[in-house]
Amino acid sequence: MRLVFADHEPHLKPNPRRDHMSGVPELSYSTLDRHGGRVLAPGQVVRTAGQSAPVGTIYRYDRLLVDESVIHDTETREQLEEAIRPTGMLMESQAASSIVAGQGSYRVPVLSTHGDQAAVDAWSLLQRLRTVNDESSLPGDLLDKVRLEHLMICSKVTPGVGSGEPPIGDSRSYGLGRIPVDMVNPMPDRKQVGRRLRVAILDTGVPTKHPAFDVSDRTEGEDTFVVVDHAFQAKLGEHSDSPAIPLDDPWEGPVHEPTLVGEVASHYGHGTFMTGLLRQMSPDVQVYSLKVVHNDGLAYEHEVIGALHHVADQVEAARGGDTEALIVDAVVLAMGYVDESPDDEPGGWIGDAVHRLAELGIPVVAAAGNQSSDRPFYPAAFAAYPQSETAAPILSVGALNPNRHIAMFSNEGPWVSCYATGAGLVSTYPCEAKGSRMPDRRAKSSILNRHRESHDPDDFSSGFAVWSGTSFAAPLAAAFLMNALAESEIGTVNGAAEASARAHEALKRLKKQLA
């Protein structure tokens, strides 16, 4: 396993010649429809007069994110609703919901008014609000509190026959992508330690049973490798507003894509694979698993924001003496989006959530994306933003091939902090995954009560797989950091400044070791 740091400090560098659709994942119509998604293509959308054309992104067309200060102030909320009414749409603010109190943003449905045939489109609505020039026009500070909700996608590579995905960055050279294998080496033993370093992984969750690790709920207080959070998942399910299956359980299906073909869902087992990499590389940590990603690889921005604030709330409560709350030492994110701002300067609240964690002394390690693009991929690209001296590091992680060259599918750019092995990795995978693809040849054994067959490409009963993606480079980078952190005195960290200093010292030590 390799980790290579960039020879510069991460920074943003505008690229005016970049293709406007660079970095936008290609998704099927059925996937977009499942999540109320729409692709913002600059040449096909309305735009505010006098403003630069947007660049491509993917957003939820019938939802907005609105700052909580607008929702809670009756006069301001009514001012916004009144400005929206002439467009033929309405903001259903009474249904506004925030997963975690005080997270800064509320998800608000946008509907057509009765008797009006106006098409519901959050982007068009925002542009119309910005072009109103009469007495109903909104002040700029209010408009800045109303934004699109992005659909975020996980960064894995699964090319191959029947995958439904076009090859990205010539990803055909990575074979069939996710394929079943068997693991020869046993998992490393876990040592008994006082307080384990804890890594939060916000992804597709982990199975309740797997031969490589044990799982418990956080309320049980057990020293299992994985801790899940049924209470948080129930809250996520309560606020679900999508045609897709709600994420109200730490682990559930569907195993298969919602088609008649019966293929294993494109991102099924994604979080399990990430968790297994930490189990191999940093066995003495504990993983705090929060399920915020659907098994087709998409996540909703407001749910990711809620999960990030939930982790921060846990840390603050634990430091304040709450024995039922969890201290988290790092957060790993494998999903992201490209922003519609032509200057690649995202607004909204996900940046606030990431920076809140950093200010609490919690490093955030995020995948740089798999679009073979230099366009900033958020939240990873927040690594390029200035931070206070007391904030923990934010790392954006690209992928290396096993030979230490950058993987063809990986994003890269001046905003990427480091690169870790992200191609041809072996890790844990749900044993129950079995798709419709069959071995090329099969015959009955003449001796044993079983078949002779060629390799079955989607029978994962072994519990292990080979996969590629910057999604998997990120937990590897986190494992290196946690191992460096473990070399220091863990003890009790009394506050954010001490935790941040410890993280920076570990990162400095790690860079020196790898130089």
Q: Which residue has the tokens 């249904």?
A: 95
d(CA 179, CA 496): 42
Rounded Cα distance, 114 and 109, in Å: 15
Whether 500 is a known active-site residue: answer no
* Catalytic annotation present for 427: no
Strands 146-154 vs 105-112: parallel, antiparallel or unpaired: unpaired
- Whether the CB-CB separation of 400 and 419 falls below 8 Å is answered with yes
Residues 272 and 204: beta-carbon distance below 8 Å: yes
Cα 119 to Cα 1, 93, 136, 415: the distances in Å are: 51, 19, 22, 38
- Give the torsion through C-alpha atoms of 348, 352, 355, 359, to 10 deg: 170
Distance spanning both ends of the chain, measured CA to CA: 15
The answer for residues whose C-beta is within 8 angstroms of residue 260's C-beta and 6 or more apart is: none
Residue among 62, 67, 121, 203 flagged as catalytic? 203
Confirm if 147 and 301 have CB atoms less than 8 A apart: no
d(CA 68, CA 63): 15
The token duo for 507 is: 């990162």
Q: CA-CA distance, 401 to 127, in Å (whole number)?
A: 43
Distance (Å) of CA 510 to CA 4, 37, 380, 485, 513: 10, 41, 20, 9, 5
**Neighbouring residues of 382: CB distance < 8 A, sequence distance ≥ 6:** 351, 354, 355, 364, 366, 394, 396
Which of 270, 294, 302, 310 is labelled catalytic?
270
Residue 225 DSSP one-character state? S
Catalytic position from the list 105, 373, 410, 471: 471
Using CA atoms, how far apart are residues 404 and 136, in angstroms rounded to an integer?
A: 58
Q: For residues 45 and 61, what is the distance between their CA atoms, to the nearest angstrom?
A: 12
In the block, residue with structure tokens 């072996």: 426
471 is catalytic: yes
- Catalytic residue set: 203, 270, 471
